[in-house]
Amino acid sequence: MRVLVVYCHPVPESFCASIRDSAIEVLKARGWEVRLLDLYAENFDPVMGCGERRSYNEHAPQDPALKPHIENLSWAQAILFIYPTWWYGLPAMLKGWLDRVWATDVAFRLPAGKGRIQSLVRHVTKIGVITTCGAPTWWSVVVGQPGRKTILRGMRALCATRCRTFFLAHYLMDASTPKTRAAFLEKVRTKLERF
């Protein structure tokens, strides 16, 4: 299995970095091919400019900086997103990556007239999300978990018909302790051993 780990956190020593390292260790131990995409480390530009937006419905993005990202998406059979939940959703960097990379003639093809879009990422059969969240579980549910829905409903809809998904969140991250973080890392390992 080929898995693309899409990691998004600006702080190198964050707990998300520990999650990333644990996840990659488990996936490699399973014999999976792993590619890490660290959006902050590579200084990914999440901003879609005027020209890019104007041609968005006409063809794939032309920015040469997006070429390796598009190749990674074409390569992946599974995608694991690791990021902090900020204001109940995705960090702007990650949202910008989705906007710019999951684009026309990359992730989907638009119909000539009325009709349904055609998926170009049916080769993706698994999507996982591992996130940290300052809010408690109950409040995140009340708010509607927009980040979870963006990936596990919106992006997943383009993937394989029977694409398997999972979502793990360390809630109350701001009040976490070494014990809660260790327990969560163990949960991450267990989940990925069965992913």
Yes or no: say if 15 and 181 are a contact pair by the CB < 8 Å rule. yes
| Residue of 26, 16, 24 lying closest to 176 (CA atoms) | 16
**Residue 51 or residue 142, greater confidence:** 51
CATH superfamily of 2-194: Flavodoxin domain (3.40.50.360)
> Which SS3 state, helix, strand or coil, does residue 75 take?
helix
pLDDT on residue 186: 97
Burial 59-82 (b: 16+ CB within 10 A, else e): ebbeeeebeebbebbeebebbbbb
pLDDT category, 141, cuts 50, 70, 90?
confident
- Tell me how long the chain is: 195
Q: Which residue has the higher pLDDT, 145 or 70?
A: 70
- Parse the chain into domains and list their residue ranges: 2-194
Q: What is the DSSP letter of 47?
A: P
Single pTM value for the model: 0.95
pLDDT at 48: 95
CB atoms within 10 A of CB 109: 13
Tokens describing residue 80: 């694991």
109's enclosing H/E stretch is: strand 108-109
